[in-house]
A and B are shown apart, each in its own frame.
Chain A
Amino acid sequence: KNQVEQSPQSLIILEGKNCTLQCNYTVSPFSNLRWYKQDTGRGPVSLTIMTFSENTKSNGRYTATLDADTKQSSLHITASQLSDSASYICVPYFGNEKLTFGTGTRLTIIP
């Protein structure tokens, strides 16, 4: 079973609206957790990185939160734009160990 489950699998929202993507993980402990954006046909690009002790981290319109007690992370996107259409992947990262990729959420922004 994948140790990193994301929800929803896919999401369609109107341009300008906000949305929140969820990540539940069992991988523990980890040194940091990253959210990646992967455009279709492209490699993943890091959006945010949080250490185990951080609760929130922002990068422009992207805000990630982390609750180590419940082993949940979320990515909130504010004022969505058409260019936000992509897959978003949650990745807990622990040094030299194998990266465990989340199942991903496919986000589609419609005008």
Chain B
Amino acid sequence: GAVVSQHPSWVICKSGTSVKIECRSLDFQATTMFWYRQFPKQSLMLMATSNEGSKATYEQGVEKDKFLINHASLTLSTLTVTSAHPEDSSFYICSASPDRGRRSYTFGSGTRLTVV
């Protein structure tokens, strides 16, 4: 149980365009989802926490207008990188929890974003 799926697994986009990444909980209802970013050879860094039906809470230094998070259902959250730039190239990973606000042990498979 507790499977989290991410899509796409990799994406290449042109600078200035927007990219949407999906995170789905397959066998449970994810009240809370977390979005992380990981640069090469670095630890995962929490970007934002989203509770279903509420606005996401962003970590310090993360631009909420650039990284749009939608968590409109209990099984789906999306992260949209708007007006992407090469420095946004990174590995994005989501995590989902059935308990509101509670950190999750289960991570998605990740999405490699390359902005050219």
CB distance from A41 to the nearest CB of B (A): 6
Known: A41-B110, A42-B110, A43-B110. A89 touches B105 (CB 8 A): no
Contact at A43–B109, with CB atoms within 8 Å?
yes
Main secondary structure of the interface of B (DSSP, over half): loop
Among candidates A41, A46, A97, residue contacting B103 with C-beta atoms closer than 8 Å: A97
Taking residues whose C-beta sits less than 8 angstroms from the other chain, chain B's interface range is: 20 to 34
In residues 26-68 of chain B, which contact A (Cβ within 8 Å)?
41, 43-44, 46
Among candidates B44, B101, B105, residue contacting A101 with C-beta atoms closer than 8 Å: B44
Known: A41-B91, A41-B112, A96-B102. A89 touches B43 (CB 8 A): yes
Residues of A within 8 A of B108 (CB): 43
Contact at B110–A99, with CB atoms within 8 Å?
no
- Is A45 part of the contact surface with B, judged by Cβ < 8 Å? yes
Contact at A2–B103, with CB atoms within 8 Å?
no
Residues of B within 8 A of A103 (CB): 43
Query: Using a CB–CB distance below 8 Å, which chain B residues touch chain A?
Result: 4, 6, 9-10, 41, 43-44, 46, 91, 93, 101-103, 105-110, 112
